[in-house]
Structure 1
Amino acid sequence: MILVTGASGNLGRAVANELLNRVEASEIAVLTRDKAKVADLEEKGIKVVQGDYDNYDSLVAAFKGVDKLYFVSGSDIANRMKQHENVVNAAKEAGVGLVVYTSFQRATDKKDSIIGFVAESHIGTEELLKASGLNYTILKHALYLEVLPLFLGENVVSSGTVYLPAKDGKVSFASRADMAEGGAAILASDGHENKEYEFGGQLSLGMEDVAKVLTELSGKEISYVSPEIEEYKQALAGFGVPQGAIDVTVGFSQGIAAGEFDGPTNELKDLLGRELVSLPTFLKATYSL
């Protein structure tokens, strides 16, 4: 049995659907706190089990009989490390055969780096898995192409400006859809025990590249402006953006500027045996250009 956590989220749901192309529905289960949110997966023949990263006993019960666990990292950054300890310890107690963990691509392994708010729990979880005695596979996800609309805003074309304090930093973006397909490919095959995979794109792309692609697609000149951090914070606050969202966006922007997410790789492309979703293809579809 393959169990996918985070099934009501974008990544977990995508992995579950991709698995349907590779194995029988009867071999797939998904973990969720709210079964109603994954009713569509249950209708496809996928088993739905209830569990919560904050409830250790629920995880042990959910993981019984699981051969491979696709472990989607939690979204509660403040409590994530404790939640991840629950998942790893429950997987060990339940006798899970392989844990496939969605970590992140980075340039350094320092928990106190400029992207420490992301790095600390991910690196800690990798260390926990390696020390657990469990078989593991670590998927180091690059920044999703899907975060670009969050950075750029829905009016980037009409405004004529890509506005982000990322300086000339570059990112090896890849789409969530491609990463989900890669995760499903690993879950549906053998030979991935105690390995790490870089799930990123083949190109290093900066915000200047994003502006150029938007210019070409829209036929309108789109420029890139990298403001100072304080100016950027004030601008977002002026638009009513919540402080938490501002802090996260600034944190990622500083990480991009520092080159923390610049790690071009062929590993995901080679695993899928095809070209990945490109920046132009993604932006064209996202902004209807």
Structure 2
Amino acid sequence: MILITGATGHLGTAVLETLLQKTDPSQLAALVRDEQKAAGLKAQGVSIRVGSYHDSASLDQAMRGIEKVLLISGGGEDDALQQHYNVIDAAQRAGVRCLAYTSRALKDPATLANQLMERHFQTEAYIQASGLPYILFRNILYMDVLPLFTGPQVLETGINLPAGQGRVAYALRSEMGEAIANVLLESSCDNRVYRFTGSEAYSFADVAAALAGAAGQPVRYTPIEAATFAAGMQARGVPELATRRTIGFLTDIKNGQEAEVSPELETVLGRPPMSLAEGVKLLYKF
């Protein structure tokens, strides 16, 4: 039986959509904080386990009868790393036979500007030290975040970000969820590390060109300084923490942290992942 944590979130939903197409729902369980949000999963025959990463007792209950767990990384809370440790500890207590984790495909964890990402590699180390058989999914930045970076008025304003000429091998979250589900169903738990990225790395100038092609009008990318970007965010009332984290993401992009391309997503999907041009049409609803 496979337990998916964070089952009603975006990635958890994508994973479960594929699992439900390819295996009996009686073999699936979903860890959720709000049972009402999982009503659709329950109706399809998925076992609903109510709990949270904070609550070790609920995690122990959720792990009963489970052979394989997908730990979907938590949010940006201060105790996010401890939350991950709680899930790993519960899996260990339950004698789970395989623990999978959604980590990040970054070039050099030792030189990250966005310190929030460090917890992924600390979680990896904790899993490896636990002695549990594991699978690590190192996922690239979701293509889905592009509208958040460019803003809703991008056709009028262009793209103005402190990302230099940095490139990202974006992939759609839905395709990464599909690939993760394929691995969970087909792979033995052999301490394998997968790097899931798109087939090509793109700069924000490439994003602007893709938007221009889809919209039929010019769109320009202008690299700006981080201080200028921060001032603009402040003027719009964006909280300082959110601004700092966004700049961290963009600085890592500028420094090439997200640029490495791996063929593994294409291999596991059995087809090329969606290109930037196709993804822009989907995400910006052209």
TM-score, with structure 2 as normaliser = 0.97
User: 2-side partners of 1:77 and 1:113: how far apart?
Assistant: 19
Deviation at 1:186, TM superposition (A): 0.9
Deviation at 1:113, TM superposition (A): 2.8
The residue aligned with 1:170 is 167
The residue aligned with 1:61 is 61
SS at match of 2:78: helix
SS at match of 1:102: strand
The residue aligned with 1:101 is 101
CA-to-aligned-CA distance 1:51-87 (integer Å, 9 cap, x gap)? 1101111111111211110110010341111111111
Give 2:139's match in structure 1, choosing from 138, 141, 146.
141
Extract unaligned runs of 5+ from structure 1.
none
Give 1:210's match in structure 2, choosing from 207, 210, 233.
207
User: 2-side partners of 1:122 and 1:260: how far apart?
Assistant: 14
Give, as a single letter, the amino acid of the residue that structure 2 aligns with 1:145: M
CA-to-aligned-CA distance 1:104-149 (integer Å, 9 cap, x gap)? 0111132x63232212x11111011111110100000000001111
The residue aligned with 1:72 is 72
Q: Report if the CA contact (8 A) 2:105-2:258 is conserved.
A: yes
Deviation at 1:202, TM superposition (A): 1.3
The residue aligned with 1:259 is 256
User: 2-side partners of 1:286 and 1:202: how far apart?
Assistant: 18
SS at match of 1:54: coil
Q: Report if the CA contact (8 A) 1:61-1:94 is conserved.
A: no
Deviation at 1:18, TM superposition (A): 1.1
TM-score, with structure 1 as normaliser = 0.96
SS at match of 1:78: coil
Extract unaligned runs of 5+ from structure 2.
none
SS at match of 1:21: helix
Question: Structure 1 vs Structure 2: percent identity of aligned residues?
Answer: 35
Give 2:185's match in structure 1, choosing from 175, 185, 188.
188
Q: How many matched pairs?
A: 286
Comparing 236-245 and 174-183, the one that deviates more? 236-245
Deviation at 1:245, TM superposition (A): 2.1
Comparing 75-84 and 236-245, the one that deviates more? 236-245
The residue aligned with 1:158 is 156
The residue aligned with 1:10 is 10
The residue aligned with 1:50 is 50
Deviation at 1:242, TM superposition (A): 2.5
Runs of 4+ in 1 over 6 A off after TM superposition: none
The residue aligned with 2:233 is 236
Matched, 1:88 2:88: yes
Q: Report if the CA contact (8 A) 2:70-2:99 is conserved.
A: yes
User: 2-side partners of 1:191 and 1:8: how far apart?
Assistant: 26
Deviation at 1:263, TM superposition (A): 1.2
SS at match of 1:103: strand
Deviation at 1:21, TM superposition (A): 1.0
CA RMSD of aligned residues (A): 1.2
